[in-house]
Amino acid sequence: MEGGKPSLPMVYQAVQALYHDPDPSGKERASLWLGELQRSMYAWEISDQLLQLKQDVESCYFAAQTMKMKIQTSFYELPPDTHNALRDSLLTHIQNLKDMSPIVITQLALAIADLALQMASWKGCVHTLIEKYSNDISSMPFLIEILTVLPEEVHSRSLRIGANRRTEIIEDLAFYSSTVVTLLTTCVEKTGNDEKMLIKVFRCLGSWFNLGILDSNFMASNQLLMVLFQVLQRDETSTNLHEASSDCVCSALYAIENVDTNMPLAMQLFQGVLTLETAYHMAVAREDLDKVLNYCRIFTELCETFLETTVRIPGQGMGDLRTLELLLICAGHPQYEVVEISFNFWYRLGEHLYKINDVALNSIFRPYIQRLLHCLARHCQLDPDHEGIPEETDDFGEFRIRVSDLVRDVIFLVGSMECFAQLYSTLKEGNPPWEVTEAVLFIMAAISKSVDPENNPTLTEVLQQVVLLPENVHIAVRYTSIELVGEMSEVVDRNPRFLDPVLNYLMKGLREKPLASAAAKAIHNICSVCRDHMAQHFQGLLEIARSLDSFALSTEAAVGLLKGTALVLARLPLEKIAECLSDLCAVQVLALKKLLAEQSTNGKSADPTVWLDRLAVIFRHTNPIVENGQTHPCQKVIQEIWPVLSQTLNTHQADNRIVERCCRCLRFAVRCVGKGSASLLQPLVTQMVSVYQVYPHSCFLYLGSILVDEYGMEEGCRQGLLDMLQALCMPTFQLLEQPNGLRNHPDTVDDLFRLATRFVQRSPVTLLSSSIIVHIIQCAIAATSLDHRDANCSVMKFVRDLIHSGVANDHEEDFEVRKRLIGQAMEQHGQQLVTQLMHSCCFCLPAYTLPDVAEVLWEVMVFDRPTFCRWLENALKGLPKETSGGAVTVTHKQLTDFHKQVTSAEECKQVCWAIREFTRLFR
């Protein structure tokens, strides 16, 4: 901190401002200043002093939280000889502050737990704590709090204690686990029905269950289990206690996932949960939704735990199908939030049965799925007094989308056709109220795609009836019927006689504001599936496209309609495509010209992105089949449109969002005509480079990668593309070399290495022979530690492809040159690359990036195994062998084993497995 250690009154004043300053800017200043204090070395001493002073809850909370944070992230700042003093000081604080707010106690408990996990010299911490505090009833709340958070912190991402230390801790906690459970049991016996204490006890027990270290035989006969179910059976149990008990039972069920190895405890929990059905009905009768949701969570966890047993021996022992009955009872509850809890179980059950694929087994579960579907259809009903179309973005709308997904996943058990026909018959034979009709149509839309459309009279009849729906039915029914028609586009394709009535029906919807977007989406679906049949309707589509803004469409629906139109356009005869494409683009081009004219006359700039996005979707999906030698029909149109796009880009060059849309539009234009865009290459590159010098938008790098992909194989274009790369690299490196440049500009990193990778793929020798390659490799090595999914993936792909080009396609004439150039690059950068990769995957990168790291190391090894062995050995020597808390991070044997596993690997996945295991030692 600038200005040295701040005084205690200053810190206290800042904390007061953080919580009580009425001026938001004052709060903001206090927050920034206190954040800086927390990052400084002074934070240790100041927190300790604030906790001694005990002035008020706010200052103590700030101090306790700071202690926890420092121990989690900056423990290395303290010399090892101060660790004991820190521990004793924290234990003194928690004892002195035990009557203060529980939030302070929790932060201190976390600080103590995090210290215990990192401090290798503090042996048997659980035993020490229990011995020290268990005889004093007033110390029991904070002792139980420490014992609750300790197991929770073992797998905390904030602590990088490493797999060796973690294993040591888990063994230690397992050794003392029965002592902890005995303490909790004694505590319940002593305090009787003290609700607060029971909540603490159940939370603590749940925490030890979650770590998976409690002895299941010991727990099966333990008094606490009985107390737990008694609390859940009692009608008068309070909401908070009920929740804590439910959480604990769910943790216990989760902990015995492997039922066969935990038989006695599994049996106790199984029988215990089955006794809760009466209590569930009582909660329903009392309209106590919180308790109902808790019971449903328990029943679902029971079904999840015994899923494999239920599928293996349905109806026998712990495969008892009463478990499914419990879930179906919950599914009958009027509130949809209750049934939603069980969705994951039903999905997993469906997945299991689908993999086993046994007809006899499916028939056992079919009645349960039929009843579930029946409940789901009822839950999807809108309120009878609902007005307007169904909302898709509120909670209920999202619930219906999840129902739709679940129905698709389990429908095979009932049979799509059978279910579809059954649903239709309820509409055909009865005269249900509108909300029932709408819900049935909604479920039919979910499963229609899984019904075989070949020669299916039911499907054609449904289609016929839906398009005859009168306009006076409830608008929600019309909305969902339009969605159903869109989902049935395969049926229309097989039965083209329905195309006209279907399009007429959808056109009616398109003209009505509430239905317009749904109708546009359905037309888009029909265009995508029935492209050939729709060619005769192209003029009609063109008319819609020309007057797109006269319909009340969402942006997405308008773009979808244009996509459908473009897909149909691509199926027209080649000689008609150019003229029709020109017509289709004309509206957007005129709009862009108008905006540019207004800009030049009154200086106001309007947003052109709507028109750019529409042009982009047209270019993207107009993909006619062009034989070799034929001129691409879209070439002329794109050449005509280029000046308008170029001018738009110039006008809005400072606005990243608009430039990004311009580049996207140009990207699809280039992709659309491929080599046919050659005449644009020179002016486009010149403009990109000139704007990029002033406004380095990363989308120019992306667009550059598209140009390299299309033209990089053309001998005459290679030098020009290399010049483009070099011109774009200079401002890029300036940007990335700023402090935190890589972290602040991940999009630029992503797009730069996408461009460099395209060069490696299309013209490796051009890139490898250039002077820029050294700088690109240096930048790549620095960026390997960047924790950003897309950017890191891009960097790794570049390095991998670059090294691979030294061994790939050895039959090609440039192979020897490539091999020599890669050899030189590896000689210069190989050791640095391997060292940086090992450091990155041990300390910087999340686990999902490790397969990419493994592929790079594999390529280095394939290129030159003996040298790689030496590089890897040097990299491993540089890794720390101990944590700041004195625990062993990695043993000599673990280092040599890892080296051997990697260097003797015969395929890349062996390298990946070895890295996964090895990096756990540092996490």
Is the pLDDT at 375 greater than 80, yes or no? yes
Average pLDDT over residues 773-794: 96
Distance from the first to the final alpha carbon of the chain? 29
What percent helix, strand, coil does the chain show, rounded to 5?
80, 0, 20
Model pLDDT, residue 154: 96
Minimal CA–CA distance to 733: which of 684, 688, 783? Answer: 783
Average pLDDT over residues 601-628: 88
Is the pLDDT at 629 greater than 80, yes or no? no
pLDDT tens for each residue of 808-849: 988 888 899 999 999 999 999 999 999 999 999 999 999 999
- Of residues 200 and 261, the one with the higher pLDDT is 200
What span, in angstroms and rounded, lies between the C-alpha atoms of 181 and 256?
Answer: 17
Confidence of residue 237 (pLDDT cuts 50, 70, 90): very high
Asked if 400 contacts 439 with a C-beta cutoff of 8 angstroms, the reply is no
Model pLDDT, residue 215: 93
What span, in angstroms and rounded, lies between the C-alpha atoms of 713 and 417?
Answer: 52
Minimal CA–CA distance to 342: which of 327, 355, 357? Answer: 327
Average pLDDT over residues 229-250: 97
Confidence of residue 604 (pLDDT cuts 50, 70, 90): low
Is the pLDDT at 601 greater than 90, yes or no? no
Is the pLDDT at 598 greater than 90, yes or no? no
What span, in angstroms and rounded, lies between the C-alpha atoms of 7 and 535?
Answer: 80
For 653-768, strand residue ranges (E) read none
Q: What is the dihedral of CA 899, 904, 907, 912, to 10 degrees?
A: -10
Asked if 827 contacts 887 with a C-beta cutoff of 8 angstroms, the reply is no
Model pLDDT, residue 42: 95
Q: CA 217 from chain center: how many Å?
A: 39
What span, in angstroms and rounded, lies between the C-alpha atoms of 18 and 32?
Answer: 10
Model pLDDT, residue 754: 97
Is the pLDDT at 240 greater than 70, yes or no? yes
Token pair, residue 98, equals 């035990």
Asked if 244 contacts 202 with a C-beta cutoff of 8 angstroms, the reply is yes
Neighbours of 775 (CB within 10 A): 15
Is the pLDDT at 463 greater than 70, yes or no? yes
Q: What value, to the nearest 5°, has the Cα angle with vertex 739 and ends 735 and 744?
A: 65
pLDDT tens for each residue of 523-545: 999 999 999 999 999 999 999 99
Average pLDDT over residues 20-33: 93
Asked if 746 contacts 755 with a C-beta cutoff of 8 angstroms, the reply is no
Is the pLDDT at 495 greater than 90, yes or no? yes
Confidence of residue 141 (pLDDT cuts 50, 70, 90): very high
Is the pLDDT at 307 greater than 80, yes or no? yes
Cβ-Cβ contacts under 8 Å for 109 (sequence gap 6 or more): 94, 142, 145, 146, 148, 149
Asked if 791 contacts 749 with a C-beta cutoff of 8 angstroms, the reply is yes
Average pLDDT over residues 618-626: 92
Is the pLDDT at 1 greater than 90, yes or no? no
Q: What is the mean pLDDT of the chain?
A: 94
Is the pLDDT at 384 greater than 70, yes or no? yes
Asked if 410 contacts 369 with a C-beta cutoff of 8 angstroms, the reply is yes
Is the pLDDT at 703 greater than 90, yes or no? yes
Average pLDDT over residues 10-20: 93
Average pLDDT over residues 686-702: 97
Token pair, residue 725, equals 């790369």
Neighbours of 881 (CB within 10 A): 12
pLDDT tens for each residue of 162-190: 999 999 999 999 999 999 999 999 999 98
Cβ-Cβ contacts under 8 Å for 547 (sequence gap 6 or more): none
Model pLDDT, residue 603: 65
Average pLDDT over residues 493-518: 95
Q: Give percent of the chain with pLDDT exceeding 70.
A: 99
Question: Could you please report the per-residue DSSP string of 477-492?
Answer: HHHHHHHHHHHTHHHH
Average pLDDT over residues 610-628: 92
Residue type, 597: A
What span, in angstroms and rounded, lies between the C-alpha atoms of 653 and 691?
Answer: 7
Average pLDDT over residues 275-280: 97
Q: What is the dihedral of CA 639, 643, 648, 653, to 10 degrees?
A: 100
Model pLDDT, residue 678: 87
Model pLDDT, residue 454: 86
